[in-house]
Amino acid sequence: MKYFYLLLMMVALLFTAEVRADVIREMAETIKTPIPLKSGKNHLLNVTFNHTSHRGISCFTCHHMPSEKDGRYISCSQCHTNVGRSKDANSLFAAFHAKDSKHSCYGCHLKKAGEMPAVYGTTFVNCRPCHSRMTNAIQGPMTIKALSPLLDVTFNHSSHKGINCFTCHHKISDKGRYVSCEECHVSMGRSSEKASTFNAFHNKTSSHACYACHLKKAQEQPERFGQRFVNCRPCHQGNVAKTKN
């Protein structure tokens, strides 16, 4: 069926040779060049798409629907107009992330990783290889600085892998979603108001807070976390106790 369409296309192109030769040349140039897909919200989420890495795949797998006005090879965003992290089929997010669709980037990559774990199991994992800048940004340890260096906390994303990003990064700012908590939680000192940094990390009931989740884990799985998540550990490594003495 695919070949039939391609043949039809080529026959059609032969009849309008002059104009079409330019179009074809232009198209060949376009698909040799990396295409930046920019995030409006956070530069760490920008993705570079290479047609060249997707050579064996039929054009129509991704360019799955012709538009009456502009032809087939147009930007996905011309039809996928809904913005934000919506599951709606019209959203741009779904076009790139729908898990069960063969047209979607993430859908195909997940399927490949499942079918060929030896080849793709490590490269197609989490948000890789698409959001590699973001993935790099969360590889290493981060120091969350307190007023006194004794209270600085080392935070590792790698210790929190199974947790949804939005549990902690629960709000979007003008600068994007994955910004420092201090971008909004600005007030200093041991305050329990919502805008305080201290509260963002130490609140005992909110699902966004470090301390609340650790307390809950210690209660739910005392054999596993009872010793590790006690007092001000593992965040302050005993420093709080020291400064108090």
* Residues in 197-216 at the binding interface with ligand HEC, rule: CB under 6 A: 197-203, 206, 208-211, 213-214
Number of residues that bind ligand HEC (CB under 6 A): 110
Can residue 78 be called a binding residue for ligand HEC (CB under 6 A)?
A: yes
Chain residues 45-74 in contact with ligand HEC, contact rule CB under 6 A = 45-47, 49-51, 53-54, 57, 59, 61-65, 67, 73-74
Kindly tell me which residue out of 16, 81, 86, 231 binds ligand HEC, with binding defined by CB under 6 A: 231
Using the CB atoms, write b or e for 98-114: b if 16+ within 10 Å: beeeebbbbbbbbbebe
Q: 127: which 2 tokens?
A: 């948000």
Q: Which is nearer to ligand HEC, 15 or 140 (CB)?
A: 140
Q: Is the CB of 13 or the CB of 146 nearer to ligand HEC?
A: 146
Contacts to ligand HEC from residues 120-179, by CB under 6 A: 126-127, 129-131, 134, 137-138, 142, 144-147, 151, 153, 155-157, 159-160, 163, 165, 167-171, 173, 178-179
State how far the Cα of 217 lies from the Cα of 42, in Å rounded to an integer: 32
Contact indicator for 121, 111 with CB cutoff of 8 Å:
no
Comparing CB distances to ligand HEC, the nearer of 13 and 73 is 73
Can residue 20 be called a binding residue for ligand HEC (CB under 6 A)?
A: no
Work out how close the CB of 21 gets to ligand HEC at its nearest, in angstroms, rounded to a whole number: 15
Residue 167, φ and ψ in degrees, nearest 5: -60, -45
Is 116 among the residues that bind ligand HEC (CB under 6 A)? Answer: no
Is the Cβ–Cβ distance between 82 and 90 less than 8 Å? yes
Residue 159 burial (CB count, 10 A):
10
Q: What residues does 144 pair with on adjacent strands?
A: 153
Question: How many residues can be counted in the chain?
Answer: 245
Amino acid at 66: P
